[in-house]
Structure formats: structure tokens, C-alpha cells
Amino acid sequence: MCPGADHEPNGQANGANANGEHPGFTAVETRQNPHPSASRNPYGHNVGVTDFLSNVSRFQIIESTLREGEQFANAFFDTEKKIEIAKALDEFGVDYIELTSPCASEQSRKDCEAICKLGLKAKILTHIRCHMDDARIAVETGVDGVDVVIGTSSYLREHSHGKDMTYIKNTAIEVIEFVKSKGIEIRFSSEDSFRSDLVDLLSIYSAVDKVGVNRVGIADTVGCASPRQVYELVRVLRGVVGCDIETHFHNDTGCAIANAYCALEAGATHVDTSVLGIGERNGITPLGGLMARMMVADPAYVKSKYKLEKLKDIEDLVAEAVEVNIPFNNYITGFCAFTHKAGIHAKAILNNPSTYEIINPADFGMSRYVHFASRLTGWNAIKSRAQQLNITMTDDQYKECTAKIKALADIRPIAVDDADSIIRAYYRNLKLGENKPLLDLTADEHAQFVAKEKELAAQGAL
């Protein structure tokens, strides 16, 4: 079993307790200055000038948490949990939900049938080997479509199934024609596409396209492909087949999200994802990560299709099920994803969040935080916090108060409560004309604080 992020994983972002709180997290929420309604991002998707083959504004998601995700080392989904995840994904708005092969086990078959009976809006697919025995079982489960796969690289032909390309092509056509005769969708995918011979790939894709396959799939099974390689292969394939193109990218070298995006730019139509990217080894394109990338490309399309505010709930659900913590730097939902710390960042964010945010956290039901209790803070962040505490001072006074907070933060880590106490005590001293200590400090801390104040005063900061 893969170890979790700590000894007691709880499905929350790293450092969070069961209430979703982060002890020691020295930042405060700010909701002021929402993003402008119309993005002027110069790197955003522009339908007017984009390549006409691009599907960035009309992609579909094949959500594979209940297939690829079940191959994650920590995963064990009982029937109840599978149904709960399927319903959550359907409510989020994914186009397809892919399930483990009903041939994998008797329980897998029963689970497949149970989910097919839920009446979800998403189409239900199951993933099988390119073999007639599997196809006969799959079509009896009630699925809307069957995803067929077989290895085409020399590695897999020699060391996995041992079949040549002639066998692969003939069997694929047989399975496709059988599944189509049942009136349901069929996808044919090569496995290890990027280590397969290009002539072999195009030959078999052309053959299955001619017999009416709904989608062909390319799979970066070992995560070796770069975005440029993906773009080139999909563009070539787009010129060979007229059917849809599905893509499946493993994340071994960290390119899964970029590869998925480049595939859509090149003309692919469907992207496989899993919640938190779970899957074999270190998984595939994460649903949340893809949403982040596509929100930058075409926010209107993404928001029109998907209930983005449901993303965190889905990730919490899956994280708890597979006993891992959500990473602190997770796309969108990590607890630091919208936290700003440096003084120049905080000032700009408070004026206009678009200065340092390409995604509006509110679109995902998330909050923005300004981390002001540190040596990196700036007086604008302290001014904003003081105003939240209903304390109004002059700019020079905010600057002096900020210098005192920075002096303490140079001595030891400080919490939000520490910074708040300094702000309140500084303001009280101003009003009463006193010079009482701003914070309860040990004798050693007090000595260091006084020395630091003198140092700052000599520099003109106090």
C-alpha cells in the first residue's frame, strides 16, 4: 500500500483537521475585489484566431476514477462507494463515467450493472480487452458503450499478449462490429501508443474507422510523451480518421495535463481523467488539474458544462476512500492554492486579484487568503487586516505597525493572533498615548525584539 501524506490521513488537505481547518495557517480570508467579469488574459483561448481543428471549446470528459482509479495502489471501492462516487461525478457534469471491466471479477460485473441502473445523465462505459469473450460479457451489463484496448508497441506485443498486428487488426474489427450490432458505442484504443510504430498505428486506426468505430484512442501508457509529441501525433491522426479521438495520459513525467490540453488543440475530442489523478503508478490527468487548465482557455464553456463548486467535495470523497491527503499545492483545492504572502503580491491582490490570479477561486467555491503574519508582509496587507478589525489609522501608522510585526517575525514564527494582538495593542497605545508592550514575550524574545526595533529604526523603517 502507498503511504499517505502523514500517519493519519483524513481526506483533508495536508495539515487540515477534520473540520477542514489548518492549525498554524497564518493567513486570513479576503473576499474583496472580485475578478473582473471579462478576462483580458492575453494568453487565453480566442475562438476568432484559434486553429479550426482545436476542440478546446468543445471537449468531453471520460471520467475514469472507477476504472483507472481503481488501479491505484490504495484503492478499494465497495459497491456503495462506487455508487456514491458515480453520483458525485454525474452531478459535477462529466460526460462519461468509465468502469472496470465486468470480466475482472464477479463483483465488478455486479457493480457495473448496478451503476448502469442508476439512470445517470452521464453515459456509462466499461473498459475491456480486445477479445470477443470480454465483449460478450460487457454488452450484457447495460452499459452505453464499450472501451476496447490492446497493446500495439513492440514491448507489449512481445512481452504481454504476444499477438502480431494482423491479429490485432482482425480481432479489433470483429469486436467492433459485434458491439455495434448491439446498438451501443464502441471505442478502440491502442495501448502504449507513443512507443508504437506510427505506420502500425495509422493502419489499424484507419481500419477501425472504416468499420464505424465511434472513437479511436491514443494512450501514453508509460507517461513518456511530451506535449509536442502529443500534438504531432493527434494532428496526424486527425488527418487519417473521421471519428472522435480519445486521449489517455499517464503522469510519470509530469506532463499529463499539458499533454491533454495539447491533444485538444490538435483536434482530439475526449480526455480521460480521474479524481486527484489516481491510477496505475502515479496516475493520469487529474480532473481538477484539467479544469484549471481549461478554465484559463475557455471559462465560459467550462462553467456552462460543469458544476465547479462540487470539485472539492468530490476530491474529499475520493481522498477519504483511498486514504490519502489532498496535497497542499493541489490544483484549485489545495489550501495554499489561493494564498498570497509576499508584500507586493498582497498589495496588488487587494487592489485587483487578476494581478496574481489567473483563476477566480469563487468560481470553484473556494476562498482567497492573504498571509500577513510573516516577515514578508507589506503595510497594505496590514492595513487591510486592521480595517477588518475595525481599526483605522494613517498610512504612516500602518507602516510603523507593520515594521513591528516584521521585527517579531524575524525572531520567531508568528500566528494570525500574534499579528492581530500587535495591531490592537499598537492602536491602543496610539489612542491612550502609552507605550505598553505589544505582546507577551519571553525575556529572551523581548531582548531580541528591542534589538530588532533598534536595527529597523537605524534603517529608517521605524
Give the pLDDT of residue 96.
Answer: 99
Note if 345 is an active site residue: yes
Q: How far apart are CA 123 and CA 137, in angstroms?
A: 18
Q: For 117-146, what is each residue's pLDDT tens digit? A: 999 999 999 999 999 999 999 999 999 999
Look-up: residue for cell 492554492?
337
The sheet with strand 339-340 has its strands ordered as 28-30, 368-370, 339-340
pLDDT > 70: percent of the chain: 85
Give the pLDDT of residue 13.
Answer: 46
Q: How far apart are CA 79 and CA 67, in angstroms?
A: 13
Residue 91's alpha-carbon distances to 310, 341, 379, in angstroms, are 8, 35, 44
Q: Strand 185-191 and strand 215-220: pairing?
A: parallel
- Residues forming beta bridges with residue 250, ordered by sequence position: 284
Q: Which amino acid is at 413?
A: P
Q: Strand 28-30 and strand 368-370: pairing?
A: antiparallel
Look-up: residue for cell 488543440?
265
Give the pLDDT of residue 298.
Answer: 95
Task: Name the more confident of 460 and 270.
Answer: 270
Give the pLDDT of residue 2.
Answer: 38
Q: How far apart are CA 455 and CA 10, in angstroms?
A: 45
Give the pLDDT of residue 456.
Answer: 67
Q: Which amino acid is at 355?
A: T
Predicted TM-score of the model (pTM)? 0.80
- Average pLDDT of the chain? 85
Give the pLDDT of residue 31.
Answer: 58
**Kind plus residue range of the DSSP H or E element containing 147:** strand 145-151
- Residues forming beta bridges with residue 414, ordered by sequence position: none
Q: Is the pLDDT of residue 70 over 80?
A: yes
Give the pLDDT of residue 340.
Answer: 76
Cβ-count burial 179-205 (b if 16+ within 10 Å, e if not): bbeeebbbbbbbbbbbbbeeebbbebb
Q: Residue 254 region, left (φ>0) first, then alpha (ψ -120 to 50), else beta?
A: left
Cell numbers found for residue 318: 475520493
Q: For the beta carbon of residue 305, count every other beta carbon within 10 angstroms.
A: 17
Q: For 387-412, what is each residue's pLDDT tens digit? A: 877 889 998 898 888 888 888 788 78
Question: Which among 22, 250, 345, 371 is annotated as catalytic?
Answer: 345
All structural domains of the chain: 53-321 (3.20.20.70), 379-458 (no CATH)
Give the pLDDT of residue 119.
Answer: 97
